[in-house]
Amino acid sequence: MEPFRLGREALYREFHTKAQGLSAKEAARRLTDFGPNEIESGKKKSYLKAYVRQYVQFFAILLEVAAFLAFIADHYVPGEGNDILGYAIIVAVIINATFTFWQEYKADKAMEALLRLMPTMVTLLREGNTQTIDAKGLVPGDIILLEEGDKIAADAVLTEQTALYINTSALNGESKPSGREIGDKSSATRALDAKNMVFAGTAVVSGSGSAVVIATGQATEFGKIATLTKNVQKTLTPMQKEVIHITHILTLIALAMGVLFFLLGLFSDQGLLMAAIFALSLIVANVPEGLLPTITLSLSLASQRMARRNALIKNLDSVQTLGSVTVICTDKTGTLTRNEMTLKELTLSGGEEVTLSGEGYAIEGEFSFKSSNESSRTRLEELLLAASVNCRAIIEDGNLFGDPTELAIVAAAKKAHIDIVSCKKSSEVPFSSERKMMSTVCVRAGKELLYAKGAAEIIFTRSTHFVDRDGKVRPFDEENRKRLRQRAEVYEEQAYRVLAIAKNSASEEEGLTLLGLVAIMDLPRTEVKEALAQCKAAGIRTMMITGDNPKTAEAIAKKIGLDFDAVLTGPEVALLSEEALENRLKNETLLFARMASNQKLKIATALQNCGEIVAMTGDGVNDAPALKRADIGIAMGNTGTDVAKEAADMILLDDNFNSIVAAIEEGRSVYFNIKKFVTYILSSNVPEIVPYILQFFFKIPMPLSVIQILSIDLGSDMLPGLALGSEKPEKNIMKRPPVGSDEKILDWEVFKRGYFFIGVIEATAAMVAFISFLLLHGWHYGTVELNDPLLHSQAMTMTLLGAVSCQLVNVWTMRSWEFSAWSVGWTSNRLLIGTMAMEFLWIWMLLGFEPVQKVFHTAYIPLNELWILLPFPLLLFVSHELYKWRKRVAKVHQEQPRRRAFL
């Protein structure tokens, strides 16, 4: 038998306790048997291991191998700068690992969020005496005492209660305070639905009571969710998959070219050592050392932009995940709604409808009457006085105390400047779940009056009269009863909580005079409708998942313009097989109500099995497992529990659904920005590789040294690449479909533009600059060894400048993936302007700063000899802009038949 089904005496017998509580000796014994009342935090995170882990990522290993090979090359052929290359690569790896670890460390929570939610002290009975002890000492069988404002430390079954209401939103998503009662009179099939139970991690909103503890620690509903969250496995983010994909392809290319030219070298006159050194040089040239640091820095910059737009990213890889999101599963309370009850609509008993401006518990607002006469304002004030007198909630100096529904009534009374003090209370009959009403007797202007508020059907039954439009008291006949009942039903259909307000000249709850109805709701956020429309335009489905009842969920969805095909409840989802749920999710946009945490987890998993990239929003403890399972978990920063924030990948600092759209926009821009700078970086690989290949097949001096390759990868490419990563979202970014799972950053288009188009132009520029400079200074083809070291250094400098000058122009044309360079504005990227200044400084150092010249084997070249470089940057810019123009034209032609077919 479930404990919540047991009567009081049976409950005492089942848990071997009594009304006076356990003895100290018995409590100590049970503490040994059951353990302390706390949530196991699991293994403490090792930050040393987390830091070391950065060095064993695949791309980091590739760079480390390249450094190792550079040291081997330096050992056998010293003086070529390979040792400097090795050290530089190691420094790049260390910087990247440290930077990535620091970003993750800053966002990590060192303290266990679950422990912070649990109260530290509880009040209970032991051997008939009231004691306050540490919550960890609570054991099954203890009798706990509950008062307004208490955090509940364990699951317990009530034995006594007086108007007890608890806030269960953190546990089950229910937005309204939940009334408790003695004995389970409902048809609950699980403990969470039992009205005679209280739960760990929830809080007492109002009233008082006592209860028998039936579960502590991991055995509580709270603990079960914590265990479920801990056991959920997080899948790889799209960004992590992309880095692995990019690394594998570039590794294969590098190794294939290295092996090929090693074998070719063996069959030539180079010998084993020189063939090996040459192969190693090619491998290093194919590895873009600056790629991983640039990706990390780009993600970091994007996360900082997101933070300015109120979206805090905890894991850098999650930034790009947002660009792939296809479904947003959103909680209702505190996400789509304000998480503040508001008295928004009123109907006076005479029929006048009144709307109140202002939202939440703010005391600013105005009342507007759809139709009124001189007495309407007076009757409205009396209605609000009667309602607020029956409230224990207090709003004082911006501080809130009490039940959210009562706070909404008090706030409305303050907006109407109701003088509650003028009505002196003499007695009250509190609200109870059985009576469904509350009444207060007070003295006003020397007369004793009874004011009552409660459920409409209860107050209607007890009312015999009502106040009409002229302020006269008339019999509450069937016609007027039907009229107001229909009005109450309309409010309820719109997701309002409806209360009826009445008065009596005698201190009795019968023969009441009805004053009117008040309609209270947790209002939708004003900006949500527009955000949902943007999601729809961006090809993103939005599904609401809430603990509220289906009627409330459906009404809120209609108010905010959320499209849905059907409503499913938690029990209905539980009965569906995984396959059946997946089939429905493929073909329908569903609205989920009365959901339990394991069912939300089931939905997230089913959507992922359908190939969707899932963003899950939430704020409660019950949301944590699904937040962790989702591709991108989004917690609320203000109203969210620490547990939800811990499990999430992103935290909305303003709890604003609109911030999700802004974050998705940034996530999409990150995808294309990374695509742009990967193309940009790969473009410079070609002028690094081609000189080695040409030197192998033709009788020419070495056009480029390995250390000069590094100066391109880590010197010339990194800062402009980083500037590309900071580009603002392009104008059509939220009008295209989400980034598909089959869309790769390193795809054929990137290879085509990077290697076979822009790269070829840059390689041509580098080699034409090298050969032309040598020919202009008396070199003859076939001379491999140059007697003049200065001439060789100058020629290699020209090779280097050929690649770098093209890259300076390439970064500008690469700012937009498909639109013209003019469309993005020349001054919109200030970081790029700054990097251009640094690039010219770097070029000056390569040409005229002796310490840099010694390291990178460069030399001064007179300005009048740099004219050789000028045609190629111009050719690159014009040809790439024409290429993008042709792509746009082709895209328009492809879309026209689709539009005609649609029309």
Taking only the tens place, the pLDDT of each residue in 717-734 is: 888 888 888 888 887 888
Q: Which ranges of 422-474 does DSSP label H, i.e. alpha helix? A: 456-462
Mean pLDDT score of the chain: 84
* pLDDT for residue 901 is more than 50: no
Query: Distance (Å, rounded) from C-alpha 450 to C-alpha 310?
Result: 49
What is the per-residue pLDDT for 515? 96
What is the 8-class DSSP label of residue 716? Answer: I
Higher pLDDT, 623 or 480: 480
Average pLDDT over residues 68-78: 78
* pLDDT for residue 103 is more than 70: no
* pLDDT for residue 272 is more than 80: no
CB of 448 closer than 8 Å to CB of 441? yes
Amino acid (one-letter) located at 24? A
CB of 846 closer than 8 Å to CB of 856? yes
Q: Vertex 11, ends 9 and 15: CA angle to 5°?
A: 120
- Max intra-chain CA distance, the chain: 119
Torsion of CA 396, 401, 402, 407, to 10 degrees: 40
Query: Distance (Å, rounded) from C-alpha 644 to C-alpha 189?
Result: 26
Helix (H) or strand (E) holding 429: strand 424-429
What is the per-residue pLDDT for 236? 65
Query: Distance (Å, rounded) from C-alpha 307 to C-alpha 696?
Result: 51
Query: Distance (Å, rounded) from C-alpha 533 to C-alpha 873?
Result: 43
* pLDDT for residue 433 is more than 80: no
What is the per-residue pLDDT for 193? 81
* pLDDT for residue 286 is more than 60: yes
Residue with tokens 């004011």: 451
Nearest to 666 by CA among 237, 325, 296: 325
What is the per-residue pLDDT for 597? 63
Nearest to 226 by CA among 191, 200, 262: 200
What is the per-residue pLDDT for 234? 59
At residue 405, the 3 state secondary structure works out as helix
Query: Distance (Å, rounded) from C-alpha 279 to C-alpha 285?
Result: 10
Q: Extract the tokens encoding 567.
A: 């409503």
Query: Distance (Å, rounded) from C-alpha 397 to C-alpha 320?
Result: 43
* pLDDT for residue 336 is more than 80: yes
What is the per-residue pLDDT for 113? 45
Average pLDDT over residues 646-673: 84
What is the per-residue pLDDT for 43? 55
Highest-scoring range by mean pLDDT, 15-29, 618-632, 711-725: 15-29
Nearest to 136 by CA among 45, 210, 27, 44: 27
Query: Distance (Å, rounded) from C-alpha 2 to C-alpha 863?
Result: 90
What is the per-residue pLDDT for 118? 46
Residues 6 or more apart from 826 whose CB is under 8 A from it?
none
Helix (H) or strand (E) holding 794: helix 789-813
pLDDT class of 811 with cuts at 50, 70, 90: very high
Query: Distance (Å, rounded) from C-alpha 240 to C-alpha 298?
Result: 14
pLDDT class of 900 with cuts at 50, 70, 90: very low
Query: Distance (Å, rounded) from C-alpha 626 to C-alpha 479?
Result: 50
Average pLDDT over residues 741-750: 83
What is the per-residue pLDDT for 269? 65
Torsion of CA 84, 90, 92, 96, to 10 degrees: -170
Residues 6 or more apart from 13 whose CB is under 8 A from it?
none
What is the per-residue pLDDT for 716? 79
Nearest to 342 by CA among 410, 402, 389, 399: 410
Query: Distance (Å, rounded) from C-alpha 652 to C-alpha 309?
Result: 9
Q: Which of 60-69, 201-210, 516-525, 700-709 has the lowest mean pLDDT?
A: 60-69
What is the per-residue pLDDT for 484? 95
pLDDT class of 141 with cuts at 50, 70, 90: very high
CB of 660 closer than 8 Å to CB of 311? yes
CB of 767 closer than 8 Å to CB of 691? yes
Average pLDDT over residues 785-807: 93
Query: How much of the chain, in percent, has pLDDT values that exceed 70?
Result: 90
What is the per-residue pLDDT for 679? 92
Nearest to 486 by CA among 517, 526, 464, 459: 517
DSSP β-ladder status, 632-636 and 614-618: parallel
Query: How much of the chain, in percent, has pLDDT values that exceed 90?
Result: 36
What is the per-residue pLDDT for 327? 95
Helix (H) or strand (E) holding 224: helix 221-231
Q: Extract the tokens encoding 591.
A: 């609205």
* pLDDT for residue 65 is more than 60: yes
Residue with tokens 């010694």: 854
Query: Distance (Å, rounded) from C-alpha 62 to C-alpha 65?
Result: 5
In DSSP notation, 827-879 reads TS-HHHHHHHHHHHHHHHHHHH-HHHHHHHT-----GGGGGGGTHHHHHHHHH
Centroid of chain to Cα 390: 41
Higher pLDDT, 547 or 350: 350
DSSP β-ladder status, 399-401 and 203-215: unpaired
What is the per-residue pLDDT for 731? 78
What is the per-residue pLDDT for 503? 94
What is the per-residue pLDDT for 232? 62
Torsion of CA 691, 693, 698, 704, to 10 degrees: 20
pLDDT tens, position by position, 664-698: 888 888 888 888 988 998 898 899 889 888 988 88
Q: Extract the tokens encoding 263.
A: 């074998």
Average pLDDT over residues 851-875: 91
- Would residue 134 show up in a list of annotated catalytic residues for this protein? no
Query: Distance (Å, rounded) from C-alpha 153 to C-alpha 158?
Result: 14
Average pLDDT over residues 454-458: 93
Higher pLDDT, 376 or 226: 376
Average pLDDT over residues 36-60: 76
Average pLDDT over residues 251-272: 77
The catalytic residue among 74, 150, 317, 331 is: 331
What is the per-residue pLDDT for 833? 92
Q: Which of 308-312, 440-444, 829-833, 845-849 has the lowest mean pLDDT?
A: 308-312
Query: Distance (Å, rounded) from C-alpha 343 to C-alpha 336?
Result: 18
CB of 321 closer than 8 Å to CB of 649? yes
Please report the beta strands in 560-683, taking only residues with DSSP state E, as ranges in sequence order.
566-569, 590-593, 614-618, 632-636, 650-652
* pLDDT for residue 284 is more than 70: no
* pLDDT for residue 289 is more than 70: no
Query: Distance (Å, rounded) from C-alpha 619 to C-alpha 616?
Result: 10
What is the per-residue pLDDT for 601? 86
C-alpha distance from residue 259 to each of 73, 267, 572, 884 (Å) = 16, 13, 60, 36
pLDDT class of 83 with cuts at 50, 70, 90: confident
